[in-house]
Chains A and B, each alone.
Chain A
Amino acid sequence: MTWWSRLWRRNELEQDLGRELQFHIAERISALKSRGLSEAEARHRVRQEFGGIEQVKEECRRARGTLWVESTVQDVRYAIRTLRKSSGFALTAILTLGLGIGGTTAIFTLIHAVMLKFLPVADPQTLIRLGDDDNCCVLGGYQGRYSSFAYPLYTSIRDHTPEFEELTAFQSGLGRVSVRRVGANTASMPLVDQFVSGNFFTTFGLRPFAGRLLSLADDSRGALPVAVMSFRAWQQDYGSDPSIVGSAYIIDGATFTIVGIAPPGFFGAMMRPDPPDLWMPIADEPAAHKLNSLLDANLLARDDEAWLYVIGRIRRGTDLKRLEAKVNVELRQWLLVNDPPQTETAKQELKKQYIALVPAGGGVALMKSNYEHDLRLLMAITALVLLICCANLANLQLARGAANSSQISIRIALGAPRSRVIRHVLTESIVIAVTGGAAGLIVARELATLLIRWAFPSAQHVR
């Protein structure tokens, strides 16, 4: 019989064991009786010879090799029974653990998502951002510390810096625009759109979930206007409708054909509560914004206004310091040609214009700088709460231990081995810990969602 079947057929084996020992005792009694002893005398004698029948059984069970499993099961069952009896203690302990673990986990989940996680893209370590500020939207004139770029400045740096395998630019200030399917009689959907350079998805090394992603050819004047939809919008706002790929949509006032769905988990290159749902090539921007175009010079704006963030993928082994120096030379040269300083002060200013290169594995981390301090504080507080929870629980356990000491003495007096008593107490703790941990998981899930909703009330889509 294998170890498993011995464990499995435990009840049968237990019965057999009882019957076997009973048989031995009965035979011995009748043998003694035939020698002239009375029934009572014979029984007494056998009991002396044989020793405690329960001890013998326990020895036999030990020989079976499955005793530790059986006694563990017994311990767990017994622990659950006693905990149910003292349900006040059990509930307090499990809730304390659950809240402590759950709270800390929820906060850590948030911190992980905001501060520690890389973008879900290929090789995030080689992504470098030009600029470390979160100047947003549309800027004119000298910025001092550059993080927002005009399209001509971006192309100039892109074309003159071969150290970047790819250099992509994307709109910094995002808003909701109404999106409607051409020809369909459905309500329009308020979605977040973002204009990006044609190599946006290639820079991040992404593959489409469906259809295709944007290409350089899409990002040229006269090309058919196309857009890529985020997996989230496709799934949640359009019910994973497969007919979307290839359909025409009116986005931001212009007609675009949706050519593909971005991979799940990709929320754009910026960490923001409201990630973009649609990506369109920069070349199509004038068609959408018409007179308000950021790309083309018009009545309201010049074409050297900065409205793009830039992230590039550097070749492995590139010296970041040298690259930074080079990019800064390019910046000043470009400014000298395209935005020449008119006065002596402006000339001095020009020399101070600066681009810092920073790792962008986590994307453009606007949320990081905004919330970092608060989140750290929150983490410290929850860690303290967990500590207090543990102290509380230890206290409770201690009180319980003191109350149980007479119980334990009785058990030892009845012949329970010390190891078994200790194991039993430990099992009880483990049962509490496991249940508390499970409660913690549930609390963590709920709390994380709640925290995100509460911290970013503008976010409509919480994952």
Chain B
Amino acid sequence: MVDLSPRSDLPQGTLDLLILKIVAIQPVHGYAIAQRLQQISRDIVQVPGGSLYPALHRLENRGLLKSDWKETETGRDAKFYRLTRKGRAHLDTQTASWRRLAQAVGLILNMAEEGVR
């Protein structure tokens, strides 16, 4: 099991992007965000609470997320985060720029392999 703490292995700012993406689907609490990140990434992305919660609070303070206390299916009170209009716009621009960057990195790596061959 690889423990990816965002400070070391996730590129800077990536955790924020991933959180915004998960929250964009539907309002969700912190624990569920961690679970979903792990499931969707097939256990590659594991975010420890020590990174997740500060990130959530930071995003909330920047006005990208909003939160309310609601009851979960199991009947417990949890803090649900949802995306604000500003958060949506941020997510769109960040996603686009991430895609561009990933594509560019991919191109370079492919070319380098061809060069070696």
Give the interface of A toward B (CB within 8 A): 1, 6, 16-17, 19-21, 23-28, 49-52, 55-56, 59-60, 62-65
Q: Which chain B residues in 33-84 approach chain A with CB under 8 Å?
A: 34, 48-50, 53-55, 57-58, 61, 69, 76-79
Q: Give every chain B residue within 8 A of A65 (Cβ-Cβ).
A: 61
> What CA separation (Å) do A59 and B31 show in the bound complex?
17
Residues in A whose Cβ lies below 8 Å from that of B30: 20, 23-24
A23 with B79, Cβ < 8 A, contacts A63-B57, A63-B58 known: yes
- Please indicate the chain A residues that have their CB under 8 angstroms from the CB of B77 in the complex: 19, 23
**A55 partner, pick from B31, B50, B61, beta carbons under 8 A:** B50
Given known A-B contacts A24-B49, A49-B49, A51-B48, A63 and B54 have beta carbons under 8 A apart: yes
A329 CB to nearest chain B CB (Å): 82
> Cα distance A23–B58 when bound, in Å?
19
Where the two chains meet, the residues of B that have a C-beta atom closer than 8 Å to any C-beta of A are 29-31, 34, 48-50, 53-55, 57-58, 61, 69, 76-79
> A50 with B61: in contact, given A20-B30, A24-B31 (CB under 8 Å)?
no
B50 in contact with A51 (CB, 8 Å)? yes
**A1 / chain B contacts, CB cutoff of 8 Å:** 61
Measured CB to CB, the nearest residue on chain B to A6 is B61
Which of A27, A52, A64 is close to B31, meaning CB atoms less than 8 Å apart? A27
CB <8 Å contact, B49 and A19: no
Complexed CA–CA distance, A26 and B104 (Å): 42
Q: What are 28 A-B pairs at a CB distance below 8 A?
A: A1-B61, A16-B79, A17-B53, A17-B57, A19-B79, A20-B53, A20-B78, A20-B79, A21-B53, A23-B29, A23-B30, A23-B77, A23-B78, A23-B79, A24-B30, A24-B34, A26-B76, A28-B31, A50-B49, A50-B50, A51-B49, A56-B49, A56-B50, A56-B54, A59-B50, A63-B54, A63-B58, A64-B61
> How far is it, in angstroms, between the C-alpha of A295 and the C-alpha of B79 when the chains are bound?
95
* Minimum Cβ distance to chain B for residue A169 (Å): 74
B48 CB contacts on chain A under 8 angstroms: 49-51
